Structures are given as structure tokens and as C-alpha cells.
Amino acid sequence: MRGLIHHYPLLGWLFFISAFVLAGIPPFSGFIGKLVLLQGAIEADYIVVAIIGLASSLLILLSVIRIFIRGFWGEKDESIIPDKKAARGFAFPVAFLLFFSVLLGVGAEWFYPSIEAIGEYLMNPQEYIESVLKE
């Protein structure tokens, strides 16, 4: 099955943009998460972990782009009977999630203090244990 972009262009391009989200390309939210993890790995002298993280991002990008090329790109497949209503039903949730991915990517500085506080809370479970078990 090839050439789906001829039948479902919006869905095809949304899939393409989602590939960048998965790979952690700016300005999407995946970039901020990977950046923070890479900074932490480098600060803790885990250079090999940082390199593996970057390599995995590249492999994810290449594999998802390959899926895009094989499924959406290419000659129009006339055997496909397009269902525009179903395509709109699929496109809305993807567009909705991509909107928030961009929002989290561009506005990361607004969310970072909360995320950092949550991370510190998770790294110190004693506070949670005391708050739950206090009598």
C-alpha cells in the first residue's frame, strides 16, 4: 500500500510531523525531554548513555521516515477507496496532540519548574511515604 498521501494528505503530513515529535526534533516536546536527559547524562559523566540516546533518536527518525515513505509517498494506489470521514476522525486527535506537543516544546520554560519539582519529589520517596503513612 503506497501513495496514501494522495488520498489522505492531512493525515499523511500529520504523520510526518509526528515523526519529528518521536525523534525529539525542536520545537516539539520530545526535544525538551531528550535535552534534559542528555544534559543529566553528560553532567553525571555518562557520555556513552548520551551517545546512545542521540543514536536512538536518529534511528527512530530514520525508521519513522521510512514508514512514511513506504506508506504515504509514491504513486497513487487506485485500489484504495478513500474514506474521508474516517480520515477526519483520525486527523483531529493527531492534530490536537501535535498542538500540545508544540506548546510544550515552545513553552517548556513555563513547565520546567513544575516538572523539576515533580522529579525531585519522585527521587525522594520518603516525603511521599511520610505524607501517606502519617497518623
Whether the pLDDT of residue 6 is over 90: the answer is no
Domain positions in the chain: 4-107
Rounded alpha-carbon distances, angstroms, from residue 28 to 80, 88, 105 = 32, 23, 4
Residue 57 in grid coordinates = 533518536
Rounded alpha-carbon distances, angstroms, from residue 114 to 57, 93, 101, 111 = 25, 26, 17, 6
Neighbour tally for 11: CB within 10 Å: 20
Q: What percent of the chain has pLDDT over 90?
A: 18
Using a 10 angstrom Cβ sphere, with 0-12 exposed, 13-18 middle and 19 or more buried, the burial of residue 128 is exposed
Whether the pLDDT of residue 51 is over 80: the answer is yes
Whether the pLDDT of residue 116 is over 80: the answer is yes
